[in-house]
Chains A and B, each alone.
Chain A
Amino acid sequence: MRTARIILITLLSLFFISFIVSKLDTKEVIMQNKIAVIPIKGAITVEGTGDFFSGSGVSSNTVTEFIKKSNEDESIKGIILEINSPGGGVVASEEIANAVKESKKPVVSWIREVGASGAYWIASASDAIVADPLSLTGSIGVVSSYLEFGGLIEEHNITYERLVSGKYKDTGTPFRELKEEERNILQSKLDIVYDYFITDVANNREMEKEKIQEIATGMFYLGSEAKETGLIDYLGGKEKALEVMKELTGLEELQLVSFQERKSLFELLRGASAFSSFYIGKGIGSGLYEQVEVKKGFNLVV
């Protein structure tokens, strides 16, 4: 009986100490001054193209969900978008930009190495943009490209049998040369997206559309140049982003909470397999953009 009493008292006392200490912790800092840090890294797509090794690629589904959760969580006072992306799909970028615009909490975009094209579109929707003087940003424009194998097929005496109902159904197929009429149609689609893109950026940045049009040649800008043209607000890194967030929220202490995408085991294995296959064929040398689609279809990339 004595033994049981000693054990019980010891265990309960120690648990009580543990419990009390956990409640005594600087509750205000932990519970009330949280800032969500949402990474936007790699190509922006609707579904995400991340893999086990590179971890590159971000899904608009995931980012918009993170933004939504941050808005629902009362302890989160602001959102920092940690951007390191060359852009991505038009719809994916627009979805995230819209989620940023709709956020009830202040959003600061912190551009690291690259925050270009679609990634800049997203940043433009935030309340403030911070970038390093050497960051690459801007690159406002739309691109759509694919490899065309018509000549190669012909050289090897292979015939592309065209069976379509609807004369534009195979527009953009890599197995034949694009007709002038088709080229004009595709270019007009690109122009519509481009116009939509620059209009939205102009509205987000509260700049005249003509001014954005001048800058939006597809050229990328260094952070220092982007500051002069008005594409970004501040030069600096993480500390500057936190400083801006403190100004926007009026808080003195910030507690950063990182949001990370979680992947299932199947996704990890699939990603690892895709990664190895991709790099075996890829060879040496890669640019900022890895967005060439070798398949039927016409993908718009910002």
Chain B
Amino acid sequence: MKKRNVYFWRRSLAFVIDIFIIGLITSPLQGLINKRIPIPKDLPGLIEFLSNSNALEEHRSFLLLISLLIFLIALAYWSILEAMLKQSLGKMIVNVKVESKNFLQCVIRNLSKALLFFDMLFFIFFIDIIVMIINKEHLRLFEKLSKTRVVR
């Protein structure tokens, strides 16, 4: 039980670090969103903005495009590094590695994580994590599909 917790939190830490790095890489795109859609920074303004159904609807196609780009960049970040080095930067820091044979396997295993950035498909990531928590091997759904795993 103790081993599982360490394993889970170690992977979570690696994930948080990677998310931070992806945030930095995609900062120009996020800046573009801020420039184009003036999202209020204060709470009442934000509530009013979000409650106005037209507010985001006007920018629907733009947001879809940007979220697709961020999804592709995130997918490329994890897939390229894990295919070439067996580790993303986050995994390097927490000292875990990916067992995989080719690039395609890396793409598949990272699909759900990258989908976190893509519009309404972020729920797939949460399904992936729930599968990881409840199965005995502690593998994510997409790790099972790609036949890969993370080892120390």
- Which residues on A are within 8 Å of B, measured CB to CB? 3, 6-7, 10-11, 14-15, 17-19, 21-23, 25, 30, 50, 52, 55, 255-263, 268
Contacts and interface: CB of A to CB of B under 8 A. Distances in A.
A55 B36 contact: no
A55 B49 CA distance: 12
Contacts of A257: 38
Contact size range, B: 20 to 34
Interface string B79-91: 0110011000100
Contact of B49 (A14, A22, A260): A260
A46 B73 CA distance: 49
B31 to A, nearest CB: 7
Contacts of A263: 42, 44
Nearest to A257: B38
A268 B25 contact: no
A22 B32 contact: yes
Interface of B: 21, 24-29, 31-32, 35-36, 38, 40-45, 48-49, 55, 58, 69, 73, 76-77, 80-81, 84-85, 89
B25 A6 contact: no
Contacts of B89: 7
Given A10-B81, A14-B76, A260-B49, A21 B42 contact: no
Contacts of B49: 258, 260
Nearest to B42: A262
Nearest to B54: A238
Contacts of A261: 45
A255 B38 CA distance: 11
Contacts of B26: 18
A260 B81 contact: no
A17 B42 contact: no
B21 A11 contact: yes
A261 B44 CA distance: 9
13 contacts: A3-B85, A7-B89, A11-B21, A14-B73, A18-B29, A22-B28, A30-B35, A50-B44, A261-B45, A262-B40, A262-B41, A268-B42, A268-B44
B38 A7 contact: no
B58 A256 contact: yes
Contacts of A55: 44, 48
Contacts of A255: 36
- Which 7 pairs, one residue from A and one from B, show the smallest C-beta to C-beta distance? A22-B28, A260-B45, A260-B40, A19-B28, A22-B32, A262-B42, A18-B28
A255 B37 CA distance: 10
A10 B80 contact: yes
B61 to A, nearest CB: 11
